[in-house]
Amino acid sequence: MSATARAATATMPPSPNRERRLAAGTAAPAIVILAALFVVPLVLLLIGSLLSPAGITFAEYAKLLGTSHYLGVIWNSLRLALLTTLIALAIGYPAAFALARARGAMRSLLLATLFLPLAASVIVKAFAWTILLRSDGLVNTVLITLGVIREPIRMIFTETALIVGSVNIFLPFMILPIYSVVAQLDRRMTDAAATLGASPVVAFLRVTVPLTVPGIVAGVALVFSLSVSAYVVPTLLIGERYPTLASTIAKAYLLARQPAFGAAAGVVLLVIAVAVITISTRLARFGGGR
Amino acid sequence: MSTRIAIVLAWTAALGAAMFLLAPLLVIAAASFSPTPVFDLPIGGASLRWYERIGRMDGFWPALGLSLQIAALSTAISLVFGTLAAIAITQRRLPGSDMLATALTSPLMMPGLVLGIALLQYFRALGLGNAWTALLLAHLVVTLPYIARTMIAGLARFDFTLVEAARTLGCTYPGAILRAMVPALAPSFLTAGLFAFLASFDNYPVSIFLTDVRAKTLPIKMLQYIEEAPDPTLAALSTLILLATVILLILSDRLVGLHRMAGTAE
């Protein structure tokens, strides 16, 4: 490697062939890590989900996709991810604009509120929500004091608690990608639209929104794929009554010792994540190309 | 008029989001001073007893040590290899650079549990029984995408003629990278390193399948504590980690600016 580098510097300008070899050399370790520790294990998992002592079988997939219980489990995972993503987008999109307009200490403070939660373990944050949401918890106390409700509402171990906790944990992953796109927006584009007679609403919808599509897509893909496979949040905030694909996989491996079934559930989860990423990348190309 | 409504709406969302994100952290900090052994808000007096108990939690020090080792080592290795790959990708001297970029960042979107079970079966098939090695290798896959993503974004805005200039002035290629590129990309390195370290340090879904009785990472120990006896010791521990992060964030803000870090986060 260093011999190649020295040879390349000795002959100026370096030949394109040598440069390409140098580039291949620098990228090689990362490619090896990715192939050996990510691609090959996933391919083996796919193969493992199709093998039984009797040969190739689709029995595990038939069990997953053919019984109403497991279809419900898949729907639970999708529903959690859809609701989390939509709510996070509704809060995160306008928030990213304010963040991009903020300056000085205000900007630093707001950004710190995005970075800081990443330092607290998901486990501890989810547990904090169980304290906030239980019947004698802070949220109920505040709502009763304000006169919004008379009796404490049961929130913990309900879908509400699950969605609140999930949005809370994944929201920074929606705001950050949108923010980094909005922060680089060229103000002259909307000014030009205004000069050409567009009202602020039209300028926003037809100029600003399309320009931010790459950020939206990155945020949506990230939050969806993180929340569809969340394990800790559903386990602590709703538990057994809301089985997800993630909890099914964990159970199959850690308790039931059914690795083939777990592998099949893993492949289904993988297919959902890949599908969402592929579709959103296509949409980004379509939206960004306008 | 509609512009003003939009601005009010945006600020409401931003401040609401900030309070919403801070809420559980405040609860954790408050609960860490609880005088009672219940994980609860400290009503009627504060106490520091849970801070004293952190170090005496069963199996705490080995778990913390293991998590720190794995997070630091995997982040360091990924920083080196991820940055090297990002240089090759952004300089576009390789065929299929875009595909490689997508491939390197794709594990970020992959369900952690699936990676965990895939690696469990894979390591078993290879006969790799050592939990420490298995965890380190697995966490390379956890940290590498964060580094690759941030460094590709950062390098895309870096002027490579600076490296060429340094080489013309007599630097070797590695020397030119170290002297011309590394200082200019400090914010990207900081962001990449921070995100990768935290992702590894807090990882549960991959690690759970690779630990054994002797080697348990901190998140796995923590979930075990919460399920067995949720006393405020965990809140005290998290408060200390949060405090360290606050200091780190203030330093980062002074050194490079948090907005520059957030700008390279995607």
Nearest Cα to Cα of residue B108 among A124, A218, A214: A218
Q: Where is pLDDT greater, at A80 or A190?
A: A80
42-71 in B: which are within 8 Å (CB) of A?
A: none
A178-228 tens-digit pLDDT: 998 898 887 777 778 878 878 888 888 888 888 888 889 989 999 999 999
| Cα of A68 to nearest chain B Cα, Å | 23
Contacts of B198 in chain A (CB under 8 A): 118-119
H-run or E-run covering A52: strand A51-52
Indicate whether A82 pLDDT > 80.
Answer: yes
Indicate whether A105 pLDDT > 60.
Answer: yes
Contacts of A2 in chain B (CB under 8 A): 172, 174
Q: Where is pLDDT greater, at A202 or A162?
A: A162
Contacts of B101 in chain A (CB under 8 A): none
Return the residue of A nearest to B113 by Cα. Answer: A246
At A15 the pLDDT is 66
For B118, phi then psi, to 5°, come to -65, -45
Contacts of B230 in chain A (CB under 8 A): 127
Indicate whether A69 pLDDT > 80.
Answer: yes
Closest partner residue to A124 (CB to CB) among B88, B234, B249 is B234
Ranking A167-176, A180-189, A232-241 by mean pLDDT, the lowest is: A180-189
* ipTM of model: 0.87
The whole-chain average pLDDT of chain B stands at 88
Q: Where is pLDDT greater, at A242 or A203?
A: A242
Indicate whether A289 pLDDT > 50.
Answer: no
Non-local (6+) Cβ contacts of A15 within 8 A are: none
Q: Full-prediction pTM beyond 0.90?
A: no
A13-39: average pLDDT: 84
Distance of CA B266 to the CA centre of its chain: 14
At A278 the pLDDT is 86
Residue B216's CB is within 10 A of a number of other CB atoms, namely: 21
- Which of A38, A261, A281 to mutate against chain B (most B CBs within 10 Å)? A38
A23:B91 CB<8 A: yes
Return the residue of A nearest to B173 by Cα. Answer: A5
- Residue for token digits 């304290």? A131
Distance of CA B177 to the CA centre of its chain: 25
Q: Where is pLDDT greater, at A145 or B78?
A: B78
B266:A122 CB<8 A: no
Q: Is the peptide bond before A94 cis (omega within 30 degrees of 0)?
A: no
B122-166 tens-digit pLDDT: 999 999 989 999 999 999 999 999 999 889 988 888 888 888 888
At B193 the pLDDT is 92
Give bridge partners of residue A138 from the DSSP assignment.
none
For A183, phi then psi, to 5°, come to -65, -25
- Which of B60, B91, B92, B93 to mutate against chain A (most A CBs within 10 Å)? B93
Ranking A214-223, B62-71, B91-100 by mean pLDDT, the lowest is: B91-100
- Which of A43, A127, A244 to mutate against chain B (most B CBs within 10 Å)? A127
Indicate whether B93 pLDDT > 60.
Answer: yes
At A8 the pLDDT is 46
Cα angle, residue B221 at apex, residues B67 and B198 outer, rounded to 5°: 35
Q: Is the dihedral of CA A79, A84, A90, A96 positive or negative?
A: negative
Nearest Cα to Cα of residue A215 among A178, A173, A175, A179: A178
- Which of B99, B121, B212 to mutate against chain A (most A CBs within 10 Å)? B121
Return the residue of B nearest to A265 by Cα. Answer: B114
Nearest Cα to Cα of residue A93 among A216, A9, A205: A216
B118:A44 CB<8 A: yes
- Token duo for residue B244: 């360290």
* pLDDT-derived band at B177, boundaries 50, 70, 90: confident
Closest partner residue to A121 (CB to CB) among B84, B167, B222 is B222
A149-164: average pLDDT: 88
Contact A276, A221 (CB under 8 A): yes
Closest partner residue to B223 (CB to CB) among A123, A171, A179 is A123
Q: Is the dihedral of CA A207, A211, A213, A215 positive or negative?
A: negative
| Cα of B140 to nearest chain A Cα, Å | 8
B88-116: average pLDDT: 86
Contact A2, B76 (CB under 8 A): no
Cα angle, residue B204 at apex, residues B203 and B205 outer, rounded to 5°: 110
* pLDDT-derived band at A89, boundaries 50, 70, 90: very high
- Token duo for residue B46: 């504060």
Closest partner residue to B13 (CB to CB) among A95, A108, A184 is A95
* pLDDT-derived band at A267, boundaries 50, 70, 90: very high
* pLDDT-derived band at B217, boundaries 50, 70, 90: very high
209-238 in B: which are within 8 Å (CB) of A?
A: 209, 218-219, 222-223, 226, 230, 234-235, 238
Indicate whether A243 pLDDT > 60.
Answer: yes
Q: Where is pLDDT greater, at A228 or A56?
A: A228
Indicate whether B94 pLDDT > 50.
Answer: yes
Q: Where is pLDDT greater, at B44 or A143?
A: A143
How many Å apart are CA A175 and CA A183, to the nearest integer? 12
